[in-house]
Amino acid sequence: MLQIETERLLLRMPRLEDAPALLDFMGDPEVMRWIGSEPGGIDVAIEHIERWLRRWDADGIGTFAVVLRDGGDLLGRIGPLVWNARTWETSSFDAAGDDAQVELGWALAQAHWGHGYATEAARAVRAWLYDAQGIEHLISLIDPVNTRSARVAEKLGAKPAETVQTPGGAATVWVHPR
């Protein structure tokens, strides 16, 4: 099973049995607002995990579960998502064709904000996408008022390029360095 290790984190494929550990994350309106989803309970957690796994199957890349190496707590999720840059809707490589654009996104439960975990995990996944997966161009789509995520993008060396309209509203396109 694919895993990426950092100093403090283990990034691994999500599993359906992760659903109960994601309830703080999935049930929090403040977390879910930034990822364009309604908060919910175990059914919502299972639905998200199943979607993440389908994306792995479709594209060979997808969301990782972010696990604290010391203690094993599941902090949230991080990973790539394929968008159709013509419509700015989520897609797959096959469906989007030449308009496919890979986004690196992150979301952690509030209890884990402000500890540098998102930056640490994003840096590792970005390196994996560039080096092991051959991704040539990587962006992050961030709501213009989401200053916490914008700060993570800045720490990663990403630069804001433009604002686009997604089904969830306006998003700033942050372009990652190679």
The answer, yes or no, to whether residue 35 has pLDDT greater than 80, is no
Whose tokens are 């792995």? That residue is 56
Distance, CA of 64 to CA of 12 (rounded, Å) = 5
Distance, CA of 33 to CA of 10 (rounded, Å) = 25
Q: What does the block give as tokens for 171? A: 């998003």
Distance, CA of 48 to CA of 46 (rounded, Å) = 5
Rg for the chain (alpha carbons), in Å?
15
Residue ranges per structural domain of the chain: 3-175
The pLDDT value recorded for residue 106 is 96
| 41-72 per-position pLDDT tens digit | 899 999 999 999 999 999 999 999 999 999 99
Distance, CA of 176 to CA of 119 (rounded, Å) = 13
**Residue 26 — very low, low, confident or very high, per pLDDT cuts 50/70/90?**
confident
The pLDDT value recorded for residue 91 is 97
Exposure string for 31-50, b = 16+ CB within 10 A, e = fewer: bbebbebeeeeeebbbebbe
Lowest mean pLDDT among 6-10, 12-16, 165-169: 165-169
| Phi and psi, residue 103, nearest 5° | -105, 140
Distance, CA of 33 to CA of 146 (rounded, Å) = 10
The pLDDT value recorded for residue 25 is 83
Q: Which CATH superfamily is domain 3-175 in?
A: Gcn5-related N-acetyltransferase (GNAT) (3.40.630.30)
Q: Which residues, including other chains, have CB under 8 Å from residue 104's CB and lie 6 or more apart?
A: 78, 79, 80, 122, 125, 126, 129, 138, 139, 140, 176
